[in-house]
Amino acid sequence: MKGSSIELDMVRAGYGGEEVLRGVSLSVDRGRIAAILGPSGCGKTTLLRVIAGLVIPRSGRVLLDGEDVTRLPPEKRDIGFVFQDLALFPHMNVFDNVAFGLKVRGVSREEIRRRVEWALEVAGLNPPRDFFSKKVTDLSGGQQQRVALARAIAYEPKVLLLDEPLSHLDLKIRQRLLVEFRRLQRELGITMVYVTHDQWEAMELADILVIMKDGQIVQAGPPSEVYSRPVNTYVAMFFGDANIIPVNGSSRRRYAVIRPEDLEISLDPNAASHANSFRATVENVVFQGPVIRVDLKWEHGTIRALIPRRQAQKLPRIGEEVTVRWRPEDAWIVEG
């Protein structure tokens, strides 16, 4: 199996009189994972449905491997789709659920059995034949998720679309399945577009991180780049936690973006005389396992620092005044 490249070229799409996507352009190279992140209603699911052919754009183009498929029906796009609600057939057993798309495509009985067994094995349901006759309603949430994944890959699509597939699962199962998704993508070389609300899921999976807002892409790039070099305060606050500090001496509204882990706290009042420092009052101290979160109040509002647990021998007390400082190279300047 080998993935297809995906390109959206100035796509506008919506439902009835509502425009949901407003001139979206995006490129995903063959065999890569793009994670789409954004608030509810920003157009993430509609973007997936446009790629799949379930929504036809009002304008713009959809290309797979450079071929214009904008008007091509879904069944001819060679795309697998894992829906948020999984959309498994409760009246069918596991075998028939996974085999459904193959039967629709007229695949032979022998080939269907081979592919169903292969897909269940790849999805981590082993031994596959033990699951053939099981009702999907008798499976755990994690097992149902694997059946949905097996169904999506059984006909060996070049592109796999996943719409918040782990949102109803508990943390441990989500973590295990994220590892499985990454393993699957590497083994099959498939191109994957993964929609999520969870920034940590996005960071763990993505080669390309796409931040959306109001039907448009605000920023797209490697997760480390989006985290370290956000294009504006919206991206800085939406992806990760950030302190937004006004920059003086400019006619435009400019801000320094400083991640909480890059702030240093000193109990020495003389440290405030250094550049890139100010005095603040400790509002809260919270143990978070590997780090200690310290919330601080200063003249422009509240900021947050994260201190590694092993460096937190002398934590400030609530109500104590401290000096907050940072290195110039850890601040990223944005507008608005």
CATH code at position 71? 3.40.50.300
Give the residue-averaged pLDDT of 300-312: 89
* 39-91 pLDDT per residue, tens: 999 999 999 999 999 999 999 999 999 999 999 999 889 899 988 888 899 99
Q: In this structure, is the dihedral angle defined by the CA atoms of residues 143, 144, 149 and 150, taken in order, positive or negative? A: positive
Q: Are residues 36 and 166 in the same domain?
A: yes
**300 part of a folded domain:** yes
Last residue in a domain, options 208, 234, 260: 234
Tokens of 144: 């149902």
pLDDT surpasses 90 at 248: no
Q: Structural domain tally of the chain?
A: 2
156 φ/ψ angles, rounded to the nearest 5 degrees: 55, 60
Q: Are residues 299 and 246 in the same domain?
A: yes
Last residue in a domain, options 202, 234, 266: 234
Q: Are residues 142 and 214 in the same domain?
A: yes
Last residue in a domain, options 203, 234, 265: 234
**1 part of a folded domain:** no
Identity of the amino acid at 212? M
Tokens of 80: 């697998």
Q: How confident is the model at residue 10 (pLDDT cuts 50, 70, 90)?
A: very high
Q: Are residues 70 and 121 in the same domain?
A: yes
Question: pTM for the complete prediction?
Answer: 0.87
CATH code of the domain containing 264: 2.40.50.100
Roughly what angle, to the nearest 10 degrees, separates helices 141-153 and 171-188? 20
Q: Are residues 277 and 322 in the same domain?
A: yes
Q: Are residues 283 and 194 in the same domain?
A: no
322 φ/ψ angles, rounded to the nearest 5 degrees: -135, 170
**85 part of a folded domain:** yes
DSSP notation for 177-206: HHHHHHHHHHHHT-EEEEEES-HHHHHHH-
Q: Are residues 92 and 230 in the same domain?
A: yes
Q: Are strands 208-213 and 216-221 parallel, antiparallel or unpaired?
A: antiparallel
Spatial separation of the C-alpha atoms in residues 62 and 25, rounded to whole Å: 9
Q: Are residues 183 and 208 in the same domain?
A: yes
Q: Are residues 128 and 187 in the same domain?
A: yes
Q: Are residues 55 and 192 in the same domain?
A: yes
Q: Are residues 214 and 182 in the same domain?
A: yes
Give the residue-averaged pLDDT of 283-293: 94
* 112-162 pLDDT per residue, tens: 999 999 999 988 898 999 999 999 999 998 899 889 989 998 988 999 999
Range of the domain at 199: 6-234
**86 part of a folded domain:** yes
Q: Are residues 130 and 88 in the same domain?
A: yes
pLDDT surpasses 90 at 297: yes
Q: How confident is the model at residue 242 (pLDDT cuts 50, 70, 90)?
A: very high
